[in-house]
Structure 1
Amino acid sequence: MGYQVLARKYRPQRFADVAGQDHVTVTLMNALTQNRIAHGYIFSGHRGIGKTTIARILACALNCRNAIGSAVRPTPEPCEVCESCVEIRAGNSVDVIEIDAATNRGIDEIRELRDAARYRPSRDRFKIYILDEAHQITDAAFNALLKTLEEPPDHIVFMMATTQPEDIPQTVRSRCQHFSFHAVKLVDILSELRGIAEHEGVDADEGALSLLAEAGDGSMRDALSIMDQAIASAPMIDGKARLDAGQIRELMGSVPNAVFERIMQAVDQNRSAEVMTVANELLDAGNSPAQLARQAVRYLRSCVIAKITGLTADGDSSTELLQISADEQRRAARTAALFSEEELTRFLQVMLRTFDELGYRQEQRFHFELGLLKLVHLRRLLPVEEVLSSLSGAGPRPGARAVSAPAATAALPAPAAAARPVVSEPVKPAFSPFEKDSQKRRYDGVAAGPAAVVAAPVVPPPVVSAPPVVSPPPVVTPAPAVEPVVVAVASPPVAVEEPLKVSEPVPVPAAVPVPGPLALEVPSDEEERVEAEPDVAIPSPVFEPVAAAVTSGEAAAMQRPVVEALSAAGQGSASDAMNDSVWTLADGELRVQTDVSKTMLPVIMNPEAEKIAKAALREVGHGALKLVLLARAGGKAAAEKKPRTAKSGSAEAKAAQHPMVVEAKRLFEAEIQTVIDLSE
């Protein structure tokens, strides 16, 4: 027999040999013991974790000729010595059919499978169908299999292995027992690789095996495939293949994580030149930017987990969240100690975005270097939380010069300082987004806080001008040859200014001229009209004149026959549209401004309705006019609607002729809005 790869040579033959899937193997063994065999199973999960392998082991256990509890088969495990077990292991069994659903995915193949399932097995207890990559079967093929899955014969068992269970219709999944496989843990893969290396006579150090286990990424088959390739490329020492970490990294095209640790140290020290130097060395060595970005993402993820779990570089603690070796965990802990959790999260986000962009960018090298530079720039930025916290702890607002209470007291004259009572300045509250609103209310005349004023009993109070809307600071005008008066105002939003000396003249800012009201040019005739009749308002600006609506009897003579003709012809919608429209004469055209949208106008005023309207106009002697139908402009009518014209003989027309309605129109200038005919 020729050479077998490690993934096939060390394929598990018993439930106990399967690593990392105890929740599946224990359930299946209990079902075999209790004889609770389902007619359909779905095995889903990551690639290379034992889905098809467990399906074959279950097929062996179901068709094993030795009973459970016998001397040859004391447990539900297959005996591995009977003819059925040997044939199933070799793939030669007639009653265990393994189908590649990726190539046999059509409805014709499933129909053949369904027809063959009617016949009993030739020798064994069950006829078993193993469908690998079952998610690639078409929906029509699954529908053809539904009835067989719902009510199968007693001798049929279906086993479907898939990596995408969500692609299998829910109607099929509800008829089967679904087992979700887990990714194999790093310690389980490492243990299997250590045993295989010892059995194969390979001299491998712990670092090399850890790299192989990490490269498997939760897949036992991937780890064995990479190990097989590493053994083939390893040097022979004393008749044994020698595996070391450097050789495996070169084989996989990866770089040691010590490089990324050096990059993060340079980021911490704000050295952009060193970051670019390391990136240039990696790229010049032939490493792919996408591969480097992928490794950087994985390393930063390890640093984030190390920061969250509190790993230390000198401790022996570890976490199951990091499926890496102990040395790599300590390396990630050293990098995590340099940054905060928020910074590491932002670094990971930037590198993830860089990794995504490298898939469709032309200059991958430049984008990878830009991603590394962004890490340095992020280190220089201040977090928003820190800026907000500094704002909440600050005293005055920007632009105001604050003076402490003792300094202000010392700057005052001695008598005033002695006579002034000590008023404690209220503590400024924490930063609030409503501060501007409170300032606005204060300057509008609403008091922002209590004010304490202390003055001499004989001296008249000075004139204090309040600043309008954060204008120049308040100006105090002292009286000549009079003792100064202390005015203390306890108002939190106002900053304390430096005191002014009374002996010096205080410059008063010049008054800002306020522009007067704008004068509008009014025609002379309008001015005379306003002087003669004061109640007449000045007209609004005059725009270009538009065609006035025809409201005379001529319009009614044109509109009414058209409305009645459309109503008589069964065009109710068109009749209502013409009745509610505004008719205008301009340049030999009869323009009908409707209240119908541009989309609905061709539907309501179809060619037949337009033909009826034109015929009605010819009958009343206006056939020479061109009929132009206008749709509603901008979602609203282009002109104001005129009062609705009632149809002759309708309930609305009768209501309009009623004496009470006529009298109401005359007295109150009312109009008819809605008429409900209850006679119907």
Structure 2
Amino acid sequence: MSDDKPKTEPKKTEAYQVLARKYRPHNFDDMIGHDSMVQTLQNAFESGRIAQAYILTGVRGIGKTTTARILARALNYETADGKIDKPTTIMPELGIHCQDIMDSRHIDVFEMDAASRTGIGDIREIIESVRYKPVNARYKVYIIDEVHMLTTAAFNGLLKTLEEPPEHVKFIFATTEIQKIPVTVLSRCQRFDLRRIDANQLKDLFAKIAGKEGVKVSDDALSIIAQASEGSARDGLSILDQAIAMSGGAKDGVTDENIRQMLGIADRMRIFDLFENLMQGKLPEALAEFKNQYDEGADPSRILAELAEISHWITRLKVIPNLQDNVWSKEAHDKGNEFAAKLSMRSLAKAWQMLLKGMEEVKNAPKPFAAAEMALIRLGYGAQLPNPDDVIKKLMGQPAPTVDSAPAAQAAPAAPNGGNSNAQSTKSIAPQTSGAPTNMLSFPQNSNAAVQMQVAPEIEIVEKKPANNVVALHPQPDVKEDGFDNSFDQYAENLSMDHGDATDDDAAFYDVSDEDAAEFGHAEADVSQLAASDGDHYIYSPTNFEDLVALVGKQRELLLRRILRHEVLLISYKIGEIHLKPLPQADKNLPKQLMTLLEQWTGEDWLVTFDVKAQSAASSTLQEQELARFAAEVQKFSQEELIKYTLAQFDGASIEKIIKFDDLD
């Protein structure tokens, strides 16, 4: 007996498309955060000033490839009814080429991934094909993604075609590392820097997409996603996609708790509580809160990063009191304004620096939890210390600025039985009526929060006098503008280095001569031009080896600076690439250490190599070159009649230092 029931076909499931692809912009109106680029292109298209090549640069996930496709669509835009048949940035409907271009399957729009096709052979294919006119579009458009991955030969092969392409050819390049593109290529392109998207704009975008998906996402959850995405729309949509899957269609939708658990982030208000305990010096409570957050799944490095973010935000609130930011909740705004009123700029800057140092230690530590805990302990103790200028004023008998406390004065408790002399050696810094903020929080309910400072009973100030046998040919300014000799700080810091068992040779190695100290002072001044930072707080890359050594000194990497001056020979130097020949005593880990530091300081990739067998290296170290120049100057000035006469008047006198009048300012 046969079965007469019709056979049912298995249900075909449509492949899921992630949110980043599903909601990818299709025209310039859909793009967010790049208004200046859109306006420039719109004006260029309307005036007919269309460049032959464009290069788009920026961090990951901000729309470089998408922008390239939209630009290709705009160049070849044509409606089916023929009403619009010219390049335009206004595309109200899909043109006859639009869908194929957006799907990367148009016959006249070529997309090439330079990460996988890097050689001159791939470029030759492009060069040979450009002479043929487009099949059915207005322009042949070549989109090369990750263009910085092309080889030098490939770039050179492209130059001529890029400079004088046929009228029907346009090039669009995309890259995340613009510094690796040869200048000869950049000069032939119109460049657009796509910036990170503002967190508020990202939050609105994610809320809009969540509504289209029919998913409920809390406002706090959207704020966390917007901040975690760091200006990248694609990263944020990937987090949102994962959060929706994690919620599993729960009644409450996606909550901030889901996001925190998924990303290993602690509750922001609990981070505020931790920050408050640290700045009050309540270390037991702070460490207990840190341990609780760690036990609940928060990553130690993320906790420190959140604390750093809070200190940065409070600093901004202090500078801009009426700052509006809908990424932070009203409760967080209230807390932030409270901290901004009670914390000084000095303490916030100190907290920021200590947290950055702690984050670096946690990253490299074998036990991140222990490293993070030590960083918090340092921060908690540092918050209780008075500022150096306050201590100096106190010791000099001048009134020092103090904690900006609540209306009730928080004087130290009176000594029992009317104690006097011994009790007076411990003095409490009283609140200031002017309301100037200082270095730590103080609350009415905790009178012990006042700063305690032990004052020495007697302080003898000894005036430093020059030795009788020292003759200065020209007066030298020993004191900087702030009243402190930075050369002495440099000298003391070098002497404090610990490098294993000390020997006489080691002492000579770490000692810093007066010449080195003075040169370091000049290096600090010279490198000030390099230290101008951009929006991401990076230092501009040094242009030569001498500037590099000056920058290393400016960053207080003193041992590394001495190695570069005394133990290596320069083979070649250009921005991003340094080749050195080490002397036998040079530290073999120097290339790795120097590369890591330069990438942190400049935000660029660097290559530093050692070549022991190099034949083209300099014949002398940087220190030896400086000594040779100094010896030549001494020889020159020794012939001057006045100098010869002066030296003759003092038995055994010699020229130890030469200072130009221009350097006296």
**Aligned pairs (5 A) from 1:390-405:** 390-393=394-397
For residue 274 of structure 2, the aligned residue among 263, 270, 275 is 263
Q: Distance in 2 between matches of 1:231 and 1:48?
A: 20
> What does residue 351 of structure 1 align with?
355
Q: Distance in 1 between matches of 2:167 and 2:220?
A: 52
- Structure 1 residue 318: Cα displacement: 2.6
For residue 330 of structure 1, the aligned residue among 329, 334, 359 is 334
1:64-99 Cα shifts (integer Å, max 9, x gaps): 224999379996323543331121122210110111
For residue 387 of structure 1, the aligned residue among 391, 395, 405 is 391
- Structure 1 residue 340: Cα displacement: 1.3
For residue 343 of structure 2, the aligned residue among 339, 345, 348 is 339
1:620-664 Cα shifts (integer Å, max 9, x gaps): xxxxxxxxxxxxxxx9xxxxxxxxxxxxxxxxxxxxxxxxxxxxx
Question: CA contact under 8 A between 1:68 and 1:76: conserved in structure 2?
Answer: no
Q: Distance in 2 between matches of 1:289 and 1:69?
A: 61
Q: Distance in 1 between matches of 2:193 and 2:120?
A: 27
Q: Distance in 2 between matches of 1:384 and 1:21?
A: 46
- Structure 1 residue 26: Cα displacement: 1.2
1:11-55 Cα shifts (integer Å, max 9, x gaps): 111111100101011111221222211111011112211221111
**Aligned pairs (5 A) from 1:559-638:** none
> What does residue 114 of structure 1 align with?
127
Are 1:303 and 2:307 an aligned pair? Answer: no
> In the alignment, residue 337 of structure 2 is paired with which amino acid?
A
- Structure 1 residue 233: Cα displacement: 1.2
Q: Distance in 1 between matches of 2:156 and 2:331?
A: 53
> What does residue 143 of structure 2 align with?
130
With the length of structure 1 as denominator, give the TM-score of the two structures.
Answer: 0.55
Structure 1 residues 160 and 73: CA distance shift in structure 2, 3 A: closer
Identical-residue share of aligned pairs (%): 36
- Structure 1 residue 353: Cα displacement: 0.5
Are 1:53 and 2:62 an aligned pair? Answer: no
Question: SS of the counterpart of 2:142?
Answer: strand
Q: Distance in 2 between matches of 1:74 and 1:165?
A: 27
> What does residue 211 of structure 1 align with?
224
For residue 242 of structure 1, the aligned residue among 250, 253, 262 is 253
For residue 148 of structure 1, the aligned residue among 161, 164, 180 is 161
Question: SS of the counterpart of 2:363?
Answer: coil
Q: Distance in 2 between matches of 1:109 and 1:284?
A: 53
> In the alignment, residue 70 of structure 2 is paired with which amino acid?
I
With the length of structure 2 as denominator, give the TM-score of the two structures.
Answer: 0.56
For residue 436 of structure 1, the aligned residue among 439, 460, 463 is 463
Structure 1 residues 361 and 109: CA distance shift in structure 2, 3 A: same
Q: Distance in 2 between matches of 1:378 and 1:354?
A: 13
Structure 1 residues 210 and 106: CA distance shift in structure 2, 3 A: same
> In the alignment, residue 323 of structure 2 is paired with which amino acid?
S
Q: Distance in 2 between matches of 1:164 and 1:323?
A: 29
For residue 370 of structure 2, the aligned residue among 366, 371, 380 is 366
> In the alignment, residue 65 of structure 2 is paired with which amino acid?
T
Question: SS of the counterpart of 1:157?
Answer: strand
Structure 1 residues 330 and 181: CA distance shift in structure 2, 3 A: farther
Question: CA contact under 8 A between 2:317 and 2:336: conserved in structure 1?
Answer: yes
Q: Which runs of 5+ in 1 are unaligned?
A: 311-316, 396-432, 442-634, 636-680
1:219-243 Cα shifts (integer Å, max 9, x gaps): 11111111111111114356xx711
> In the alignment, residue 173 of structure 1 is paired with which amino acid?
L
> In the alignment, residue 299 of structure 1 is paired with which amino acid?
I
Q: Distance in 2 between matches of 1:327 and 1:275?
A: 20
Are 1:318 and 2:323 an aligned pair? Answer: yes
Task: Give me the CA root mean square deviation.
Answer: 2.9
For residue 184 of structure 2, the aligned residue among 162, 171, 192 is 171
Question: SS of the counterpart of 1:337?
Answer: helix
Structure 1 residues 366 and 437: CA distance shift in structure 2, 3 A: closer
For residue 34 of structure 1, the aligned residue among 47, 50, 57 is 47
> In the alignment, residue 375 of structure 2 is paired with which amino acid?
G
Structure 1 residues 72 and 205: CA distance shift in structure 2, 3 A: farther
Q: Distance in 2 between matches of 1:393 and 1:177?
A: 64
- Structure 1 residue 303: Cα displacement: 2.1
- Structure 1 residue 287: Cα displacement: 2.9
> What does residue 287 of structure 1 align with?
298
Question: CA contact under 8 A between 1:47 and 1:219: conserved in structure 2?
Answer: yes
Structure 1 residues 68 and 174: CA distance shift in structure 2, 3 A: farther
- Structure 1 residue 371: Cα displacement: 0.4
For residue 83 of structure 1, the aligned residue among 96, 106, 109 is 96
Q: Distance in 2 between matches of 1:165 and 1:68?
A: 41
Question: SS of the counterpart of 2:156?
Answer: helix
Question: CA contact under 8 A between 1:78 and 1:85: conserved in structure 2?
Answer: no
**Aligned pairs (5 A) from 1:437-452:** none
> In the alignment, residue 370 of structure 1 is paired with which amino acid?
M
1:375-415 Cα shifts (integer Å, max 9, x gaps): 111122121111222244459xxxxxxxxxxxxxxxxxxxx
1:127-163 Cα shifts (integer Å, max 9, x gaps): 1011111122122211111111111111111101111
- Structure 1 residue 295: Cα displacement: 2.1
> What does residue 277 of structure 1 align with?
288
Question: CA contact under 8 A between 2:76 and 2:86: conserved in structure 1?
Answer: no
Question: CA contact under 8 A between 2:143 and 2:171: conserved in structure 1?
Answer: yes
Q: Distance in 1 between matches of 2:385 and 2:462?
A: 27
Structure 1 residues 92 and 11: CA distance shift in structure 2, 3 A: same
- Structure 1 residue 437: Cα displacement: 6.2
- Structure 1 residue 338: Cα displacement: 3.7
- Structure 1 residue 57: Cα displacement: 0.9
Q: Distance in 1 between matches of 2:262 and 2:24?
A: 24
- Radius of gyration: which is bigger? 1
Structure 1 residues 250 and 394: CA distance shift in structure 2, 3 A: closer
Structure 1 residues 93 and 225: CA distance shift in structure 2, 3 A: same
> What does residue 193 of structure 1 align with?
206
Aligned residues: 396
1:502-541 Cα shifts (integer Å, max 9, x gaps): xxxxxxxxxxxxxxxxxxxxxxxxxxxxxxxxxxxxxxxx
Are 1:16 and 2:29 an aligned pair? Answer: yes
- Structure 1 residue 169: Cα displacement: 0.7
Question: SS of the counterpart of 1:159?
Answer: strand
Question: SS of the counterpart of 1:359?
Answer: helix
Q: Which runs of 5+ in 2 are unaligned?
A: 1-13, 400-459, 469-626, 628-665
> In the alignment, residue 260 of structure 2 is paired with which amino acid?
R
> What does residue 63 of structure 1 align with?
76
Q: Distance in 2 between matches of 1:109 and 1:74?
A: 29
Question: SS of the counterpart of 2:173?
Answer: strand
Question: SS of the counterpart of 2:382?
Answer: helix
> In the alignment, residue 391 of structure 2 is paired with which amino acid?
V
Q: Distance in 1 between matches of 2:464 and 2:49?
A: 73
Q: Distance in 2 between matches of 1:45 and 1:219?
A: 10
Q: Distance in 1 between matches of 2:119 and 2:87?
A: 42
Q: Distance in 2 between matches of 1:434 and 1:157?
A: 75
Are 1:180 and 2:182 an aligned pair? Answer: no
For residue 377 of structure 1, the aligned residue among 375, 381, 385 is 381
Question: CA contact under 8 A between 2:80 and 2:96: conserved in structure 1?
Answer: no
Structure 1 residues 115 and 328: CA distance shift in structure 2, 3 A: farther
Structure 1 residues 233 and 286: CA distance shift in structure 2, 3 A: closer
> What does residue 174 of structure 2 align with?
161
1:214-270 Cα shifts (integer Å, max 9, x gaps): 1221111111111111111114356xx711111111111111122221122222332
Q: Distance in 2 between matches of 1:10 and 1:269?
A: 47
Question: CA contact under 8 A between 1:43 and 1:179: conserved in structure 2?
Answer: yes
Structure 1 residues 138 and 73: CA distance shift in structure 2, 3 A: closer
